[in-house]
Structure 1
Amino acid sequence: MREPVLRGRVAVVTGAARGVGAALARELSESGMRVALLGRERATLHAVARTLAGEAHCYAVDVTDKAGMARAAEQVADDLGQASVVVANAGIAATGPFTTADPDLWERVVNVNLLGSATTARAFLPQLTRTRGYFLQIASTAAFGAAPMMSAYCASKAGAESFAQSLRAEVAPQRIGVGIAYLHWTSTAMTQDIDENPVLVALRASQPRFAGRVHEAEQVARWLREGVERRATSVYCPPWLRLMEPLRPLFPFLVARVARRALARMDTAAIERSAGVLGTGGAADWQHGHVPPGP
């Protein structure tokens, strides 16, 4: 039986249209929370909302839009009440060489993954202060060691981790908890080409077999929900990642060494052909450009 620590409270999940965000929204809803789903795709958000066990409201907003996020926070408070849990999950990824990458796409990845998380925190911290709530930053093992051909994603996830660590110390006097979730290979639209994209194939091939296992979004969401219940400072998805923490100082050296060997074997033409944004969500975000969501 789940502990009723979340029942009756309000949760906000960004990037809730699909993947881990949608799965976590379901987990939190089944725990008795009222859920606010935030994302750019209104119709997809509503489709997710219809699968939830309890009350849910959808807000079509770009997490990098400061004014839009401020309005969304006000609407959440009016519709559902003050947020007790906020999950900065929205994120996109792109692959390809830095030197030939579309600069706008590169910056968009950083803006969504890092600045979008900061904008989310800024918009909802007043509510978390009142509820003595919990902010969960979704990071990645990309923060452990930066892989080539994914410079924007790795930089943004490392930055998001550092942001959350700094924020944790700042808001501790207000009794706000801040957690960081480290996700490894997860089955979402972002990794739908995991067996075809040469960059993703090479990254998995360079890891031990157990580390290359792909976990379903629903399982990852269960680990995240357990972390939310515990107000955990760190959530590891999968849990064995906790054992890697003492080795983190070695990862940049190890990743660089393995990467040099892998790049020497990779087909540069295939890398160029596969370069670009990953997954349905990333493509939808990129296609939206800078146009605000419709009514």
Structure 2
Amino acid sequence: MKDKVVFITGAARGLGAGLAQKVVENGGSVFVVDLNAKAVEARVLALGNSADGCAGDVRYLDDMKRAMQLCIDSFGRIDVVVANAGILRMGSIEKMDPKDFQMTLDVNVAGAFNTIRAAVPHLRASKGYLQVVSSLAAAIHTPLMSHYAASKAAVEALADVARQELALDGIGVGCVHPTFTKTAMIEEAKPGQLWGGHKGAFAAIEPEQVVEAMYEAIVKRKRKTIVPKPIAPLVLAPGLFHWAAERISKMEGSDKAIRAFQSTEHNDE
């Protein structure tokens, strides 16, 4: 991690803040992006001279492009991008406010897409690594979380597709699947009635455990990170066919097709 530059969305608190601290402690520099400008300023101040940041809304591609350019202005490069920003709200399909459903998709899915889209040219230059934060909820779909589960399944799909497309340029892509973690986001959603009594593999875990796994995944450029490890079969089983499909697509000439689209599609960089 020494001398590497890591760009993290949703980094003013929770897992993003913990990861930013871990990066700085290990000799890297970090660029903090979050919705709240005061929270970003406080986090950057706490991290010290190896940090910078700006307010930005992941729902807007222009915000992500601007933030990454500011990171380049500050540190000269971007080696790692972590699409971490997300929201969680509880509600039944029948009774939830449709605005909550749309907001969850806008932040979690469109936000990940915009972060990836803005990151590509910078990671191509550094042959860097993209980490996308999904969830156990992508595989285990529990009541009152239809919008969150749908969004995190979509985020995993985005990561799987990005991995195949960006591998041609030397960019690694990893997806992180934490179980329920004791962060402010989880506490504010008040999911205790559903999971408060769970023990063992389904018990809520400490943020430090997830941060450690995320950091290790960045260093080792891991494809898939599941925290804690005992839940791995639950996440991996549905994805076994995806892994096989990626291998098959290689044999079917997908590289040529990807390059063809990259050369003909509108370039907005």
TM-score, normalised relative to structure 1: 0.77
**Structural mapping, 1:177-196, within 5 Å:** 177-192=172-187
Q: Return closer, same or farther for 1:53/1:231 CA change in 2, 3 Å cut-off.
A: farther
User: Is contact 1:30–1:54 with CA below 8 Å preserved after alignment?
Assistant: no
Whether 1:142 aligns to 2:137 is yes
Runs ≥4 residues deviating over 3 A? 243-249
2:40 partner amino acid: L
In structure 1, which of residues 4, 8, 11 is the aligned counterpart of residue 6 of structure 2?
11
CA distance in 2, matches of 1:215, 1:127: 34
In structure 1, which of residues 192, 195, 201 is the aligned counterpart of residue 193 of structure 2?
201
Aligned to 1:269: none
Aligned to 2:223: 233
CA distance in 2, matches of 1:158, 1:245: 11
**Structural mapping, 1:48-59, within 5 Å:** 48-52=43-47, 54-59=49-54
Q: Return closer, same or farther for 1:83/1:192 CA change in 2, 3 Å cut-off.
A: same
CA distance in 2, matches of 1:164, 1:118: 9
Range 184-193 or range 111-120, more displaced: 184-193
Q: CA deviation at 1:66?
A: 1.2
Range 94-103 or range 185-194, more displaced: 185-194
In the TM superposition, what whole-angstrom CA distance separates every residue of 1:157-211 from its partner, at most 9, and x where no partner exists? Answer: 00000010011000111010000000102110122267xx4x5422454x5x202
Q: Return closer, same or farther for 1:245/1:94 CA change in 2, 3 Å cut-off.
A: closer
Give the 3-state SS of the residue equivalent to 2:79 in structure 1. Answer: strand
1:229 partner amino acid: V
In structure 2, which of residues 168, 190, 209 is the aligned counterpart of residue 219 of structure 1?
209
Q: Superposition RMSD on alpha carbons, in Å?
A: 1.7
Aligned to 1:86: 81
Give the 3-state SS of the residue equivalent to 1:180 in structure 2. Answer: strand
Q: Return closer, same or farther for 1:37/1:193 CA change in 2, 3 Å cut-off.
A: closer
In structure 1, which of residues 140, 147, 156 is the aligned counterpart of residue 151 of structure 2?
156
In the TM superposition, what whole-angstrom CA distance separates every residue of 1:57-98 from its partner, at most 9, and x where no partner exists? Answer: 111010011112111111111111221100000000111112
Aligned residues: 239
Give the 3-state SS of the residue equivalent to 1:20 in structure 2. Answer: helix
| Structure 1 stretches lacking a partner, 5+ long | 1-5, 250-295
In the TM superposition, what whole-angstrom CA distance separates every residue of 1:104-154 from its partner, at most 9, and x where no partner exists? Answer: 121111111111001001111100000000000001000012212111100
Structure number with higher relative contact order (C-alpha < 8 Å, ≥ 6 residues apart): 1
Give the 3-state SS of the residue equivalent to 1:111 in structure 2. Answer: helix
Give the 3-state SS of the residue equivalent to 2:177 in structure 1. Answer: strand
Using the aligned pairs only, state the percent identity. Answer: 33
TM-score, normalised relative to structure 2: 0.84
Give the 3-state SS of the residue equivalent to 1:51 in structure 2. Answer: helix
Give the 3-state SS of the residue equivalent to 1:83 in structure 2. Answer: coil
Q: CA deviation at 1:245?
A: 4.1
Q: Return closer, same or farther for 1:245/1:71 CA change in 2, 3 Å cut-off.
A: closer
Range 161-170 or range 95-104, more displaced: 95-104
2:39 partner amino acid: T
CA distance in 2, matches of 1:12, 1:141: 24
Q: Return closer, same or farther for 1:12/1:228 CA change in 2, 3 Å cut-off.
A: same
Give the 3-state SS of the residue equivalent to 2:8 in structure 1. Answer: strand
User: Is contact 1:114–1:156 with CA below 8 Å preserved after alignment?
Assistant: yes
User: Is contact 1:33–1:54 with CA below 8 Å preserved after alignment?
Assistant: no
Q: Return closer, same or farther for 1:246/1:7 CA change in 2, 3 Å cut-off.
A: closer
In the TM superposition, what whole-angstrom CA distance separates every residue of 1:238-285 from its partner, at most 9, and x where no partner exists? Answer: 122324345448xxxxxxxxxxxxxxxxxxxxxxxxxxxxxxxxxxxx
User: Is contact 1:168–1:177 with CA below 8 Å preserved after alignment?
Assistant: yes
User: Is contact 1:128–1:176 with CA below 8 Å preserved after alignment?
Assistant: yes
Give the 3-state SS of the residue equivalent to 1:99 in structure 2. Answer: coil
Aligned to 1:271: none
CA distance in 1, matches of 2:134, 2:175: 6
Q: CA deviation at 1:29?
A: 1.1
User: Is contact 2:180–2:204 with CA below 8 Å preserved after alignment?
Assistant: yes
Q: CA deviation at 1:219?
A: 2.3
User: Is contact 1:10–1:35 with CA below 8 Å preserved after alignment?
Assistant: yes
| Structure 2 stretches lacking a partner, 5+ long | 240-269
Aligned to 1:29: 24
